[in-house]
Amino acid sequence: MVHFDKPTYTVRRTRKKEIPHGLYTKDPVTGESVFTKELEDNQMVVPKSGHHFPIGARQRIAKLVDEGTFSETDAGVRSADPLGFVDSAPYPTRIKKYEKESGLPEAVICGTGKIHGIPVSLAVMDFRFCGGTLGSAAGEKITRAIELAVADKCPCIIFSTSGGARMQEGILSLMQMAKTSAALGRLAAAGLPYISVLTHPTTGGVSASYATLGDVILAEPGALIGFAGPRVIKDTTKQTLPAGFQTSEFLLKHGLVDQIVSRLELRDRIGELLLALHVKKKAAPPTTVVNT
Amino acid sequence: MEKPAYVLEFEKPLRELAKDLDALHQKSMEHNLDVTPEVKALENKLEQTRRDIYSNLTPWQRVQIARHPKRPYALDYVGLICEGFQELHGDRQFNDDRALVGGTAFFNGEAVMIIAQQKGRDTKENIERNFGMPQPEGYRKALRLMKTAERFKLPVLTFIDTPGAFPGVESEARHVSEAIAVNLREMAMLKVPSIAVVVGEGGSGGALGIGVTDRVLIFENSYYSVISPEGCAAILWKDRSAAPKAAEALKLNAATLEGLGVVDEVLPEPFGGAQNDPAQAAAALKYALQKHLNDLRALDTETLLNARYDRYRKLGSYEEAGVVHS
């Protein structure tokens, strides 16, 4: 007798909203199931619909910089607990949980690398670590990345994704907005380009500091970008929000964002912009000799 | 008849004692009785209770005082410590924000640029002032005036008093976050001395948008926070009524802020709050402003800008190689 094993199914867990875990992932645009491996190979962009799922900082960096050029900096900068903050759990316990869940030391990964051969200083945020919130450690790392760009005379690129300032560090979180923006003032004074890439979601204190200070501001399609979140606006003002409010597309139309760029094209687009703003030269295309 | 004074919840025992005292006086007059010992005892009790309450204010109680509807507002202080305020309106692009105002004035005879977040005293005025919640145009006007100050070498004095930047559809559509961000960067680079004073509420990014200055002063009952206690309570405790707990946890009061290096000096208030004697509070502010202005004026521009950069550069607390930096 032929014995058939019960097929094994992978149950999709929705522990972290919108971050695919199972074998198949449902595309919220078409409702179709996508093979998760295929999604991962495509930088978490659904091939058919173009829907952008969140992507981890390390996965992003791997596809962004020239192969083998990334060198991480300041990996040892970690969150402390300056206020001794306790809500339903002590803040240090939460941090340990985020470290474990995300496999990251902080909400931002920094380093140097090359894009199309052009050296850059890079800071990439990751939403999985405490909602990408900006605390003292993240602020310190981003500030160092900007200062490194000034010291090395290279462009700075920051990918933002954040729920805002990290409440558990109180006023010190708010001050990271001032610290990072002041550093960007020095970068601007040094005549070095800063490209800010807004990804889903970029809100609160991060939107009101370095995220919106780019010489060029790019956004991934369909990202939620704003200062106050939609619920806060509704609760405070009782206003109805227009369709598509606070999306990348809305902000392109309303003049905040320079371009909306698919994640799959970001590397090349950034490379092209750096050529224009930083290298300021491009090899001329081969001239066609016309015989007369 | 005089309008009854505005009484905060925790001040109610004082009102009860004051009522008892009045009743006692009334009784003594009506019946021609000598109640001197009773009056004396009650007065002592009133004074003792007053001391007990105001000497042990919780963070949340101080937040209530910072929001007190009789508290002196920015333009009250400007009137008390400056002469000849000339309001300069509009951002030259879209609108004139009434929640964030500015203009030239003379402080101890020297010209300065005033930037001030202004609340309203009554409903009508509060609607005009949008309850002290600036929109993008307010921040852009503030920047325009700061650049004017830079051109004419006037020090900038900013007065912070806002629950936060306005969280509304129009505000978002015109990019309030960008307006605040640009101010943070430009204030850090401004080539004239600048001093901010938190006179009431220091509500998050909306406050910081005019707060990146060489010195930050704060009145002892004002607060300055990354988020309102109610907002923090709603997110972390899932309950807005946990605001007193959140206020405690956020360490948002003047004395702790000084300890964290976020503010440079705490200004004393009259007992029970600045609303009890605005002139006295203003005198303390005037004295401190002059002292800090003198110090800042003595610095050349490069030293001033480097010191300002370092002031914000070192804020924060993080761990690296087993050492906590703060």
Of B212, B225, B252, the CB nearest to A178: B212
For residue B35, name the pLDDT band (cuts at 50, 70, 90). Answer: confident
Per-window interface: A 204-223 vs B, CB < 8 A? 204-205, 207-213
Q: What is the pLDDT of residues B223-275, one digit of tens each?
A: 999 999 999 999 999 999 999 999 999 999 999 999 999 999 999 999 999 99
Closest residue in A to B256 (Cα–Cα): A83
Rounded CA separation A58/A63 (Å): 9
Q: Which pLDDT score, from 0 to 100, does residue B3 have?
A: 53
Model confidence at A10: pLDDT above 50? no
> Is residue A228 less than 8 Å (CB to CB) from chain B?
yes
Q: Which pLDDT score, from 0 to 100, does residue B4 have?
A: 57
Q: Given an 8 Å threshold on Cβ–Cβ distance, is A212 in contact with B236?
A: no
Closest to B313 (Cα-Cα) out of A175, A170, A164, A145: A175
Q: Which pLDDT score, from 0 to 100, does residue A13 have?
A: 39
Average pLDDT of chain B?
A: 95
For residue A291, name the pLDDT band (cuts at 50, 70, 90). Answer: confident
Percent of chain A with pLDDT over 70: 92
Q: Given an 8 Å threshold on Cβ–Cβ distance, is B175 in contact with A210?
A: no
> Is residue A167 less than 8 Å (CB to CB) from chain B?
yes
Q: What is this structure's pTM? A: 0.94
Q: Given an 8 Å threshold on Cβ–Cβ distance, is A233 in contact with B180?
A: no
Q: Which pLDDT score, from 0 to 100, does residue A9 have?
A: 43
Q: Given an 8 Å threshold on Cβ–Cβ distance, is A182 in contact with B212?
A: yes
Q: Which pLDDT score, from 0 to 100, does residue B34 have?
A: 85
Q: Which pLDDT score, from 0 to 100, does residue A1 have?
A: 42
Q: Which pLDDT score, from 0 to 100, does residue B29 have?
A: 86
For residue A7, name the pLDDT band (cuts at 50, 70, 90). Answer: very low
A-interface mutation test, from B131, B133, B172, B227, most A Cβ less than 10 A away: B172
Rounded CA separation A252/A255 (Å): 5
Q: Which long-range contacts link B31-39 to residues 24+ away (Cβ below 8 Å)?
A: none
Model confidence at A11: pLDDT above 50? no
What the block records as the tokens of A217 is 């501001």
CB atoms under 10 Å from CB of B44, counted, come to 10
Range in A154-158, B7-11, B297-301 the model is least confident about: B7-11
DSSP-assigned letters across all residues of B60-116: HHHHHHHT-TTSPPHHHHHHHHEEEEEE----SSS---SSEEEEEEEETTEEEEEEE
Helix axes B243-250, B59-66, angle to 10 degrees: 100
B205: CB partners within 8 A, 6+ apart: A165, A174, A177, A204, A205, A208, A209, A227, B164, B165, B177, B180
User: In chain B, what residues touch A243 (CB-CB under 8 Å)?
Assistant: none
Helix (H) or strand (E) holding B303: helix B301-313
Q: Angle B289-B294-B300 (CA atoms, 0-180°, nearest 5)?
A: 125
Bigger pLDDT: B64 vs A21: B64
Q: How far is CA A113 from the centre of its chain?
A: 16
Rounded CA separation B119/B100 (Å): 9
- Diameter of chain A measured on Cα atoms: 84
B-interface mutation test, from A181, A207, A224, most B Cβ less than 10 A away: A181
Q: What is the pLDDT of residues B8-18, one digit of tens each?
A: 999 999 999 99
> Is residue A76 less than 8 Å (CB to CB) from chain B?
yes
Q: Which pLDDT score, from 0 to 100, does residue A292 have?
A: 65
Q: What is the pLDDT of residues B279-294, one digit of tens each?
A: 999 999 999 999 999 9
Count of A-B CB contacts under 8 Å: 200
Determine the distance in angstroms separating the CA of B209 from the nearest CA of chain A, rounded to an integer. 9
Model confidence at B324: pLDDT above 50? yes
Q: What is the pLDDT of residues B112-155, one digit of tens each?
A: 999 999 999 999 999 999 999 999 999 999 999 999 999 999 99
Q: Given an 8 Å threshold on Cβ–Cβ distance, is A77 in contact with B320?
A: yes
What the block records as the tokens of B35 is 């109640």
What value does the mean pLDDT take over residues A1-28? 58
Model confidence at B1: pLDDT above 80? no
Q: What is the pLDDT of residues A245-265, one digit of tens each?
A: 999 999 999 999 999 999 999
Range in A18-32, A164-178, B182-196 the model is least confident about: A18-32
What the block records as the tokens of B265 is 């000096």
What was the ipTM of the complex prediction?
0.95
Rounded CA separation A226/A208 (Å): 9
Q: Which pLDDT score, from 0 to 100, does residue A285 have?
A: 83
Q: Which pLDDT score, from 0 to 100, does residue A20 have?
A: 64
User: In chain B, what residues touch A87 (CB-CB under 8 Å)?
Assistant: 236-237, 249
CB B130 within 8 A of CB B176: no
